[in-house]
Structure 1
Amino acid sequence: MSITLRYAARTDLGLGSKTRNEDSAYAGPDLLVLADGMGGHAAGDMASSTVVSELIGLDGESYGSDEALRRLASAVHDANARLRTEMDSDPELEGMGTTLIAFLRSGNMLALANIGDSRAYLVRDGVFSQITKDHSFVQTLLDDGRITAEEAEHHPQRSLVTRVLTGREDDEPDLSLREAKPGDRLLLCCDGLSDYVAHSTIEEIVTGDGTPAEIADALIAIALKAATRDNVTVIVADVVDGNDHSSSTTTPQIVGAAAAHEGAGSDAESAPRTPAEKAAALSREANAPTDDGGTDDEDGRPVLAEEGPRRFTGLRRSLLALLVVAILAAIGFFGYAATQRQYYIAEHDGKVTIYQGISQNLGPIRLHSVNTVSDIWVDDLPSFDRSKVSSLSMTAGSREAAIGIVENLRADMVTCQAQVADGSSC
């Protein structure tokens, strides 16, 4: 039996301190994508929108099921490589990353790619289940049997992710292929929903009656009622009979950072309407060259035919310069690698954060990047601990040791809050 999708995508900034939406989502006839960016400043929204823009070209195409999984895996790989390219071209973006949930439809099959702690749920025959596994510190504890599912839902370190797309070669998503049946309902969501709203509450809403748009609106509303401090984004999609054309959705929906990036350069009167046009428009923006496309020399001047002899002399000088640069780069590489085996604790967007590297820079070269942003607000720490975070004096030789420091800060915060509640100072 052929199937089609009826879908709705929604997002909200949330009630935290973020001034821009770092989530991106795309819902189309054959493709559902949700990405939760991280990295602070402009990096989080850049990461999520870049990945979404690389994937949406898959929508509107026809693939066999095995080919769909290969195409999806290839697109995720290309998107991850694009992140690396963006960071190489702009040091301010270093350390950015994003989670990813993506479904690509092929007939009545769904190819699935997942990395990070954004989630996909399935309702089938009234049964609500999570079909992705979080790549997180808490999930590791759960897999090892060190905590229960109930403890995992409220664990203070549930926001620590162990695997996301960061532009590194070893950023590999989980890939799978599953059958879709009419009557199925899919939910894709970021941790702005799952970290703040109880599993049972999400289940009650998603298994209830209503269109995907109504369910998506209800999920956003309950997340805001729960005072989510993060961006919250959801996609709800119903699987319907492919012969029932009145029930399917055909217009793509783009929300969050990807929509903001697309809208920045779009013309309302000539906006693309078909899935392929939407995909091409967003992809063109993400991959637009920074120059005017002309052929320039190393000084930025147009190259003229009569400049050949001068360019030959310049080539020899360039080769010598490259040799010197290569030697210096080799020295720098090993020095840089040594710095990346260190960690320190500092503030990032108001939260206690683990940085990888050392806090200094070497000229324009950043020797540090955000590794893990905790859920501890620096302002909630005792004054002594706040001063230590500000002074960048808390260092560690491994990520595990750095997490231990963060947990000690959490214990100090809890103790201080208890003393204040008892009328004492801390």
Structure 2
Amino acid sequence: MSVAFRYAARSHVGLGTKSRNEDSAYAGPELLVLCDGMGGHAAGDVASSLVVGELVHLDGESHGADDMLDILERSVLEANDRLSEVADETETLEGMGTTCIAMMRSGAKLAVANIGDSRAYLRRGTRVTQITKDHSFVQKLLDEGRISEEEALHHPQRSLVTKVLTGREGDEPDLSMRELRVGDRLLLASDGLTDYVAESTVADLLLQDAAPGALADRLIEISLRASVRDNVTVIVADVVPAGEGTTKPQVVGAASERRGTTLLTPQTPAEKAAALTREVHGDEGEGLELAEEGDGTGPMAWIRRTLIGLAILLVVAGGGWATYDWSQRQYFVGEDDGHVAIFRGVSQDLGPIELSTVEEVTDIEVSALPTYYQQEVRGSLSADDLAGAEAIVEELRVLSLPRCRDLAQLPMPTSDGDAVTVTVGPDGQAITAGPDGAASTAAPDTAGQTRGPDTDEATATGAPERPTPIVPTEDCRP
């Protein structure tokens, strides 16, 4: 049976200190994309809107179910390459990145690409299932059985991602294919929703019989009631019979705002799509104004103010000591003299009083970390306790290692103790460079013989020698 999407997209800047929305989302008849940008001032919103802009052309293009997963993957990787190009052009954008969930529909087939900790859920019948897996530090702890589901809900590093689109090689999404049925409901959400609203509450809302727009509004509303400190963005898409779906694209968040920078001019595809709709949905709140009763004059008012002042001084004095005592039972990971270090206390100071001391300085150089994690460490990563801080350090240690495939030359010892270097040539042969720099190849010929580098005579082997396995001689990450 042929199907269609009936969808709605919503986004809100949240109640935190962010002055701009770093989320971007696009919903169209055949494409759903949600990106949560990161990277600090004027970078996260650029990253998210740029990736949306690189993917939006997939909506409306004719793709068969057999090749659309390859097309979606290639488009995400091309968007990642574009991030690298833009970051190289503008120094202030170095280190930017974004999560990405992209869903492309062809008939009743759905191709899904996911990287980062934004989430997608599927409601089918009375069951709600998370169909993406978080690329996050907390998810890794869960997979290893080091924390429980309950502990994960309140872990201080639940927003620390381990893989996003940053423009670097190796930023590759998870891919999957699904079969859609009429009655299915999809939810794409940034962590502004899932970090502040319980998963059970989200599931209950998805099971309600509400139109996509009303449900999306409700999800934003409940996030704000939970005092969300981050941007929050959602896409709700119901699977309906063909001919009953939405046809007008919707763009929300950073991608919906026309940017006044030459970086994104001429308009990106996402901005062109945004011209189709200016239905940027935000919550309208009623302002409440509080006023003091009376004119505040007279002896009773003076006495009242004096007593209140004394009470405040007592509270501040007691609260100051309580705050200091509490701070000395906290831990965080930060930078000390260019190295990753564990600190006892909190990263803020109380006037002239320093509230943190170095507990341990590691051998991990901050400069060896990916750019995004350098910024995270310099901004400090809080932990529940010392064990939590040590776990973060071990994760950073892995991230500081070079990728195994980047180790192009590997030193191999010879029988006489001299070191040689072994690399793999383009034809798969092992090319050996000796101490004097001379290079030779060792590959079996058609007669089952090999030739040494210093002789023209063939040495009979009777059978081709098995090449020595080439393995990295230093730690690396996949």
* TM-score class normalised by the smaller sequence: 0.5 to 0.7
Q: Secondary structure at the match of 1:95?
A: coil
* Number of the residue aligned with 2:72: 72
- The answer to whether the 8 Å contact 1:120/1:189 transfers is yes
SS at match of 2:129: strand
Residue aligned with 1:66, SS: coil
Determine the C-alpha separation between the residues in 2 that align with 1:179 and 1:357.
Answer: 53
Alignment of 1:101-140 (within 5 A): 101-140=101-140
CA deviation vs aligned residue, 1:105-141 (integer Å, no higher than 9, x gap): 0110100000000000000011011000000011111
Relative to total residues, which structure has the larger helix share, 1 or 2? 1
Over residues 361-397 of structure 1, what are the superposed CA-to-partner deviations in whole Å (9 max), with x where a residue is unaligned?
xxxxxxxxxx9xxxx9854889524698xxxx97751
Of residues 240, 246, 250, the one that matches 1:249 is 246
Q: Distance in 2 between matches of 1:114 and 1:168?
A: 16
| Counterpart-to-counterpart distance in 1, 2:258 and 2:4 | 28
1:278-325 superposed Cα distances (whole Å, 9 cap, x missing partner):
6583699xxxxxxxxxxxxxxxxxxxxxxxxxxxxxxxxxxxxxxxxx
Following the alignment from structure 2 to structure 1, what is the Cα–Cα distance between the partners of residues 216 and 54?
25
Structure 1 match to 2:49: 49
The answer as to whether partners of 1:22 and 1:257 remain within 8 angstroms in 2 is yes
Inter-CA distance 283–79: structure 2 relative to 1 (3 Å threshold):
farther
How many Å apart are 1:68 and its aligned residue?
A: 1.0
Give the residue type in structure 2 aligned to 1:260: E
Structure 1 residue 261, shift from structure 2 partner: 3.2
Q: Determine the C-alpha separation between the residues in 2 that align with 1:14 and 1:94.
A: 25
Secondary structure of 2:5 counterpart: strand
Give the one of 316, 336, 354 matched to 1:384: 354
Aligned AA for 2:166?
T
Letter of the 1:92 counterpart: T
* 1:102-251 matched pairs, under 5 angstroms: 102-242=102-242, 245=243, 247-251=244-248
The code of the aligned residue for 2:134 comes to D
Deviations 1:131-186 (A, max 9, x none): 00000011111111112222212222111100000000110000111101100000
Identity %: 55
TM-score (norm 2): 0.60
Taking the aligned partners of 1:159 and 1:22, their CA distance within structure 2 comes to: 15
1:397 to 353, 364, 367: 364
Residue type matched to 2:197 in 1?
Answer: V
Query: Are the equivalent residues in 2 in contact too, given 1:59–1:279 (CA < 8 A)?
Result: no
Tell me how far apart the structure 1 counterparts of residues 147 and 228 of structure 2 sit (CA, whole Å).
24
* TM-score, L = length of structure 1: 0.67
| Cα distance in 1 for residues equivalent to 2:237 and 2:57 | 19
**2: CA distance between counterparts of 1:411 and 1:33?**
37
Which stretch shifts more, 253-262 or 231-240?
253-262
SS in 2 for 1:26: strand
Q: 1:114 to 1:377 in 2, by over 3 A?
A: farther
Map of 1:8 onto structure 2: 8
Partner of 2:258: 261
Q: Distance in 2 between matches of 1:138 and 1:387?
A: 26
Aligned to 2:60: 60
Specify whether residues 76 and 408 from structure 1 end up closer, same or farther in structure 2 by C-alpha distance, changes over 3 A only.
closer
Taking the aligned partners of 1:31 and 1:356, their CA distance within structure 2 comes to: 46
- Aligned residue for 1:397, secondary structure, equals strand
C-alpha distance in 1 between matches for 2:229 and 2:349: 15
Q: Is the 8 A contact 1:10 1:220 kept in 2?
A: yes
The AA in structure 2 aligned to 1:249 is: T
Structure 2 counterpart of 1:155, one-letter code? H
- 1:162 match: secondary structure: coil
CA distance in 2, matches of 1:411, 1:127: 37
Query: What code does the residue aligned with 2:161 have?
Result: V
Q: Corresponding residue for 1:289?
A: none
Tell whether the 8 Å contact from 1:57 to 1:283 is kept in structure 2 after alignment: no
1:31-46 equivalences in 2 (<5 Å): 31-46=31-46
- Structure 1 distance, partners of 2:187, 2:349, is 34
- The CA distance in 1 between the partners of 2:211 and 2:260, in whole Å, is 27
1:66-96, Cα deviation, whole Å (9 max, x unpaired)? 3111111111011100110011001110110
Question: Do the aligned partners of residues 168 and 263 (structure 1) sit closer, same or farther apart at CA in structure 2, a change above 3 Å counting?
Answer: same
Give the one of 271, 281, 284 matched to 2:272. 281
The question of whether the paired residues in 1 share the 8 Å contact of 2:52 and 2:270 is answered with no
Is the Cα–Cα contact under 8 Å of residues 100 and 115 in structure 1 kept in the other structure? yes
Partner of residue 324, structure 2:
none
Residues in 2 aligned to 1:74 and 1:91: alpha-carbon distance in whole angstroms: 27
One-letter identity of the residue aligned with 1:397: I
The runs of 5 or more residues in structure 1 that have no matched partner are 266-271, 285-351, 360-370, 413-426
Q: Say if 2:346 and 2:356, in contact at 8 Å, map to a contact too.
A: no
CA separation of 1:96 and 1:184: change in aligned 2, threshold 3 A:
same
> For the structure 1 residues 231 and 395, does the alpha-carbon distance in structure 2 shift closer, same or farther, using more than 3 Å as the test?
farther
What count of residue pairs does the alignment treat as equivalent? Answer: 314
Q: What is the deviation of 1:263?
A: 9.4
Aligned residue number for residue 322 of structure 2 = none
* CA RMSD in angstroms, aligned pairs only: 3.6
Distance 2:17 2:80 in 1: 27
Corresponding position of 2:82 = 82
